[in-house]
Amino acid sequence: MIGRETQCVDCRQGMGLGVGGGLAQRGTLSETGRPDVVAIAMSPGRRHITKPVCEITHGLRREGIQVSVLVLNAGAGIPEEKGKPARGSKFGLTAREFEQIERHKVALIHLGNVRAHVVSKAKLILSHAAVPAIIACQIPVDFEDFAKEGVPTVVVKPLPDRVETKGYVAAIVSGIVRGQTCPRRKINEIVRHIRRILEEQES
C-alpha cells in the first residue's frame, strides 16, 4: 500500500477539568474507530506528565496501530489497602473506565518510577479488566514483581489459587522517563509487542 492510512479519532468525550478542547485532561477518553489498543495515562499533575503518552500514541498511530487514550480521573496516588488508613490522594477507577478499557484488545498502561506503585496500579486495573497489558514505565521491573502480587504474566504465573486479576501482563517496556522525550527504540519495542499480541489473538 502506498500512502497513509487515515484514522478517525473521537477526540475527548468530555472537557475534563475545564475548557481544554483536545487536551488530555483527567476523566477523558479519545476513542479510535477500531478498538485495538487503549493507552491508559495517570491524571495530569506535578508528578504525572502526559508527554510520553502523547509521543507513544503518535508513534503507534504512525505505524498504523489504532490507539484510544484514556486519562484516568483518579490516577494519582496509590490504591487504598484494606485495613490501612487513607492518606493523601488515592488511585482508583470507575466502572465506566473499566468498561472503556475492556472494549479494547490490548491495554498499554503508562506508569512511573516507584516499583510498588507500578505493580499495585497495574494490579488494580487488571483485577477488573480482562485484557492483556503492556506496562510502560520508568523504573526497571520484571515479571516476577507482578507474579508475586497475584498478577499472571506471559513468563511467570502465580499458583492458580493466588491469581488475583482477570487480565495479565503480556510485556514490559521500562526506561520511559516521565516528562522526557520517549526514545524511538522504546516506541519500536512497544509496536513489536502490540503486533505480536494482536497476531496471537487473531490466530
Task: State residue 19's pLDDT score.
Answer: 39
**What residue segments make up the domains of the chain, in order of their start?**
23-80+89-202
pLDDT band of 146, cuts 50, 70, 90:
very high
Q: What is the mean pLDDT of residues 90-112?
A: 92
Q: Which residue has the cell 465506566?
A: 96
| Overall pTM > 0.95 | no
pLDDT at 44: 66
pLDDT tens-digit series, residues 46-62: 555 567 888 899 999 99
| Distance (Å, whole) CA 5 – CA 65 | 10
Mean pLDDT of the chain: 84
CATH homologous superfamily, domain 23-80+89-202? Cobalamin-binding domain (3.40.50.280)
Pairing of strands 28-32, 67-71: antiparallel
